[in-house]
Amino acid sequence: MNDINILFDYNGHLPECPTWCEQSQSLYWTDILEKQIHRYDVLTKKHTVLHFSEEVGSFALRESDGFICAMRTGIYLTDPAGQLDKKICDNPNNPALARFNDGGVDQFGRFYAGTYWSPKDFNGALLCRVDAQLNTKVIHADILGANGLAFSPDKQWMYTTDTPNRVMYRTPLNELGDAGTREIFKQFAPDYGRPDGAAMDIEGCYWVAMFNGSKVIRISPNGEILAEYPLPVKNPTMVCFGGSDMKTLFITSGRENMSASERAASPLSGCIFTLKTAVGGMIKPRFKEA
């Protein structure tokens, strides 16, 4: 059950935000530094690319079709071809210093997106939420690099990570999206890797890509590391569940800032991998608009 395979012949720069579309049996993802959203149909093997004018840190599918995209300068609604329909808000950070990064949708249809503070001189990044009326609210404002967004099956908890600070949090949420007191759920040692993008399975376990750690791990609701899955690359970036039975884990990886010698030593960096799992994953909700 632990065989790691390459999805198809593709090698990106900074692939992130893998998103499974159960309706079309397709995988979407963004290549942040190439300013693209990709789509790969696993049935027809067709690969298409949408191009944008700036980095798309994260996105989600809309119930009304198209995407909600967290880009460098702000959060936008687009049509299915990636054409901008509406700007929801400006980037609450200084866009010259912090681009949007990880994001996703909770079970009630609200979109969350966090930023990454590039100077790394203090915890200057944030996490914000967009509701059905397109109102934006900052939820957290004391992180360095927002990542790891996932929601528990019981709809009680939001999980996040702060990648540079190697910490995993959980925050209680109610149906209105109001956040309770955030708590540290797990702290990782420097030599173990940094927790990056994540996904939740139907048993409430948290699967997270360990950047600079060459692995994906599965963590129980009690914080116990249940399993480790080694990868042939140093920097996995994010995971999501998909496939006809939701038992395929898709794993993106990156080659950002790697030297020529590092790329030669790790030629699969930037590929997308698959892992068959014994337990199914949760379907990513779509963004709901009023």
Strand 146-151's sheet: what is its strand order? 146-151, 157-162, 167-172, 183-187
Which structure tokens are listed for 215?
A: 């692995």
CA distance 10 to 158: 32
Strand partners, 47: 40
Q: Which of 162, 196, 201, 245 is catalytic?
A: 196
Question: What's the rounded Cα separation, in Å, for the pair 115 and 113?
Answer: 7
Q: How many residues does the chain have?
A: 290
Neighbours of 257 (CB within 10 A): 9
Contacts of residues 89-96 at CB distance under 8 Å and 24 or more positions apart, as own/partner, are 89/128, 89/130, 89/134, 89/136, 91/115, 92/126, 92/128, 92/136, 92/138, 93/117, 93/124, 93/125, 93/126
Both tokens of 98, joined, read: 């912090």
Active site residue 31: no
* Strands of 84-90's sheet in order across: 56-61, 67-71, 74-78, 84-90
Q: Are 209 and 218 in contact (CB under 8 A)?
A: no
Q: Is 1 helix (H, G, I), strand (E, B) or coil?
A: coil
Question: In the structure encoding, which two tokens stand for residue 251, read together?
Answer: 């794993």
Name the nearest CA neighbour of 284 among 40, 25, 60, 34. 60
Structure tokens at 33: 């530094």
Which residues form the catalytic set? Answer: 196
